[in-house]
A = this chain, B = another copy of it.
Amino acid sequence: MSTGMVYLTRRERFNAAHKLWVEAWSDEKNQQMFGKCSNRNWHGHNYDLFVTVKGQPDPVTGFVMDVKELSKLIKMTIVDKVDHSNLNLDVDFIPKGMQPTTENLAILFWQQLEPHIKNCKLHSIKLYETENIYVEYFGE
* Contacts from A to B (Cβ < 8 Å): 1, 3-13, 15-18, 20, 22, 33-37, 39, 41-46, 52, 57, 60-64, 66-68, 83-86, 89-90, 98-104, 106-107, 130-140
Contact = CB atoms under 8 A, between A and B. Distances in A.
Given A18-B44, A35-B68, A84-B37, A8 B99 contact: no
Nearest to A34: B61
A101 B9 contact: no
A24 to B, nearest CB: 8
A12 to B, nearest CB: 8
Nearest to A63: B101
A138 to B, nearest CB: 7
Contacts of A6: 103, 106-107, 135-137
A76 to B, nearest CB: 16
Nearest to A123: B136
- Copies of this chain, whole number: 6
Contacts of A57: 101, 103-104, 107
A41 B7 contact: no
A43 B86 contact: yes
A94 B90 CA distance: 26
Given A3-B107, A45-B45, 4 more contacts: A6-B107, A9-B135, A11-B133, A63-B103
